[in-house]
A and B are shown apart, each in its own frame.
Chain A
Amino acid sequence: MKTDLPSSPNGQPGPDEVPVELSSRPTVVGGKRVLGVVPGKPIAGERKVIDRDDTVMVWPHLLVRHAVAAMVTLLTVMVISVFVDAPLREVANPQNTPNPEKAPWYFAALQELLARFHPLVAGVLVPGAIMMGLVALPYIDRSNFVKPRHRKVAITTFTTFMVIWIILTLIGFMFRGPNWGWVWPWEEWHGEL
């Protein structure tokens, strides 16, 4: 709505605007008489452009996003569960050891290490060191940066261990067959979920 008050889009008078000439005739805005023009910013504060460091209300900004994430997650689970049945083999038989004997997939890397190194190393030292390393990570890595380009050592170390762990998991899960011998997953499949 047009008024005869000078104002720039952000609500404060711009430097090159002509000041209001107060005449004997009262200035009327929206049916109300204006008593005076006061210099300074509006009481309600300046309109500002929101930047990414500003805070926003969690409801609705974060919660709608979380709701979408939750629905996508549940939909994924539903679709998988409709089309893929959970495995159920023959009843447990302590007299009949299957070959290969496989741990759950998330321990496949440990099992693969056990096949290669002394049990004390693979079964105790390595998992112990991993857990200790993870717990100690924020107290070892004290650099005051969060962007990857300033944390090359930390990123490289973590990535190296993670890639080794993923490769060992895949080997133990898919590439090991009878007597823990090497198999190609597209020829023989021994992975169990």
Chain B
Amino acid sequence: MKVMDHGTTGRGDAPPSAIEKARQTTVGKSIFRGPRRVTPRDRAAGHWASFLLHLYPVKMRRREIHFRYSWYLGVISTVLLGSLVASGVYLMFFYVPSPAQAYTNIQTIQTEVAFGQYVRNVHRWSAHLMVLAVAAHMARVFYRGAYKPPREFNWVIGVVLLLLTLLMSFTGYLLPWDQLAYWAVTVGTEMADYVPLIGEQVKEMLLGGPVVGETTLLRFYVLHVAVLPLALVGVLTIHLWRWRKDAMFDQQAEDIDED
């Protein structure tokens, strides 16, 4: 008689799958450490011990994993960030941030570099989509009431991430050094001028002079490829860490269980 299993994987006597067979080979055993995890407790321990999976909580409330709950906008933003890092690193190999070379470099990327035009397109469109996705993520979290206790501070971290995303996009906008880039950044930085007392100093520090020029391009480049990505990934790490921790706590709202 088969033993009724309560809450385990339900594949007790099933023949071993192809993956299971692969795991039993010498190479398989060297890749996947430990035994096959069967009981929930065992699987949770395996999840906890995995380097990549530990970014996620082990368990989540069922209603929070469906598309209709979050529209997956957070994960979409993160995937776009990954796409931007990958395409951005490739573009960096062919780009020098100086007014004499930047524009020619972009032309070379588009015409001579292997997949250059395509990678530049990926970088450009991912950037615009990421601004949209992050903004939409914020709106979705608002309408879901997902910023309510105990998640208030993660909302604040999210606002910082929105700002960093905008700054990433804005500093990157200058790099092609075409008319579009030059004047969009001129208009954008002119807004800093209106801040009383410190406005002009802030603008000059950003531009490295009274108008957009050689120093501006270098500063925006350094901000775009080093300072802001590090800041963004750092803050994102805290955001995700808090999200994982909060997955273990119930929100305290009175109507959370209503339909």
Contacts and interface: CB of A to CB of B under 8 A. Distances in A.
Contact of B61 (A55, A104, A134): A55
Given A53-B257, A81-B125, A162 B139 contact: yes
Interface residues of B, number: 95
B186 A69 contact: no
Interface string B226-259: 0000000000000000000000000111111110
B156 A138 contact: yes
Contacts of A120: 194, 196
Interface string B132-153: 0000001100111111110111
B76 to A, nearest CB: 5
Interface of B: 1-2, 4, 6-7, 40, 43-44, 47, 53, 56-63, 65-67, 72, 75-76, 79-80, 83, 99, 103, 106-107, 110, 117-118, 120-126, 128-129, 131, 138-139, 142-149, 151-153, 155-156, 159, 162-163, 166, 169-170, 173, 176-184, 186-188, 191, 193-196, 199, 211-213, 251-258
A77 B126 CA distance: 6
A34 to B, nearest CB: 12
Contact of B62 (A1, A54, A59, A85): A54
16 contacts: A51-B62, A55-B60, A57-B47, A66-B72, A69-B75, A69-B76, A73-B129, A76-B129, A77-B83, A88-B180, A102-B184, A104-B188, A105-B128, A137-B147, A147-B255, A158-B142
B65 A61 contact: yes
Contacts of B44: 57
Nearest to A146: B145
A184 B119 CA distance: 33
Given A74-B83, A77-B125, A87 B183 contact: no
A93 B179 contact: yes
Nearest to A136: B156
Contact of B103 (A52, A92, A150, A162): A92
A96 interface: yes
